[in-house]
Amino acid sequence: MKLSNRNDLPLQPDWISPDSSVYKSKRISLKNIIVALLLSIIFFLIFCFVALHGFIAWVLSNPTVAPLYSNPKLAKNLDYYNISFPAADGSRMMQGWYIPADSSRKTIVFSHGYGANREESWIPMYDLAHYAHRLNFNVLMFDYGFAAGGSKEVATGGKKEAQQLLGAIQYAKQHGGDELIVWGFSMGAGTALQAALYSKDIDAMILDSTFLLEPDTMYHNIRQHIDLPRHPSLEIIGLLLPVLNGTSLRQIPYQAVKTEDYPFPILFVHGTKDDKAPYPIAEQLAENQTNPISDVWIVKDSHHELIFREHPKEYLRLVSSFLGRVEASMGSSNP
């Protein structure tokens, strides 16, 4: 039998050759799969990062607010009226309480904070309303739109709320408020400063733990809960806020507020351990004021909106003195 020589053997199959087209195509396919997988992971992480910021923006716009649990009569035996009035821009009707004082022509309008309603129990608001009434002030307490029972309105950092506060001020003026004081807390204090840019009806303000929604304070609050980079977090949330609540940070006049010298006296009260609104903002705002009655009380080791609870006697003594000076100045200007 004739033996075949080496050259007569069949060629090696293509799959054995490292340079074969099949092997190359498999290498390319594997590479494409790896690239696609890496891109999918990257896009998923980006989506999660943006979604996290969307959740933060949604929470900022939709605070959880407890329902009303009492009223001035039950809480402090104060006679009151249920009232409704329009926001100054006519965008909605507001609900509140009006507590009249005998033959009084002076009124305090309370401006509650974020995540609260007109009761704001941790202050506690009923105690301050009772105190104001004892000083012969009419008292107006109301809910901002985001805090109203059954409302689906979002919080806007003062854009809508300023118009709602101006509506409360107009109501108070129409019902005997010749001397009108706004007493604000946290974002309600920041809202009061925004409203005062457009009103000449305010005679004085008491601002407790002033919170002004701006990039610095927003990022400060975010960092209390999650350690996110300042950039691009602020930019992403800034883009998402108008989508979720219709308000851009550019629509909040925080720059104007931070430089305004208001024509009426303001008492700023703030704690050094305020973890929501750092106290230097109150110091800065107070420095801008030239009204001789304006004052600032920075309370060592006190916390956000808890200064009255922590130092009740000093708090009321300072407020009483301030209101007395306001009333005296108004009496001297109206012979």
Specify whether the CB–CB gap between 170 and 85 falls below 8 A: yes
Closest CA to 180 of 109, 270, 115: 109
**Residue 150 banded pLDDT, cuts 50, 70, 90:** confident
Percentage of residues in the chain with pLDDT exceeding 90? 76
Q: Is the pLDDT of residue 9 over 50?
A: no
Lowest pLDDT segment from 42-51, 64-73, 77-86: 42-51
Average pLDDT across the chain, whole number: 91
Q: Is 143 helix (H, G, I), strand (E, B) or coil?
A: coil
Identity of the amino acid at 180: L
Tokens representing 254 are 């925080």
Q: Is the pLDDT of residue 333 over 80?
A: no
Residue range 84-104: mean pLDDT, rounded: 96
Q: Is the pLDDT of residue 88 over 90?
A: yes
Vertex 150, ends 147 and 152: CA angle to 5°?
Answer: 70
Could you give the C-alpha distances from 118 to 11, 124, 146, 173, in angstroms and in order?
91, 10, 11, 19
Closest CA to 214 of 272, 143, 159: 159
pLDDT of residue 335: 45
**Residue 196 banded pLDDT, cuts 50, 70, 90:** very high
Tokens representing 326 are 């306001």
Q: Is 96 helix (H, G, I), strand (E, B) or coil?
A: strand
Options 2.40.160.10, 3.40.50.2300, 3.30.1020.10, 3.40.50.1820; CATH of 68-214+252-332: 3.40.50.1820
Better-predicted residue by pLDDT, 78 or 225: 78
Q: Is 61 helix (H, G, I), strand (E, B) or coil?
A: helix
Q: Is the pLDDT of residue 200 over 50?
A: yes
Residue range 306-324: mean pLDDT, rounded: 98
**Residue 70 banded pLDDT, cuts 50, 70, 90:** very high
Q: Is the pLDDT of residue 78 over 50?
A: yes
Could you give the C-alpha distances from 279 to 69, 102, 133, 272, 283, in angstroms and in order?
32, 38, 29, 6, 7
pLDDT tens digit sequence for 164-187:
999 999 999 999 879 999 999 999
One-letter-per-residue 3-state SS of 179-220: EEEEEEECHHHHHHHHHCCCCCCCCEEEEECCCCCCHHHHHH
Residue range 51-76: mean pLDDT, rounded: 93
323 Cβ contact list (under 8 Å, min separation 6): 135, 181, 204
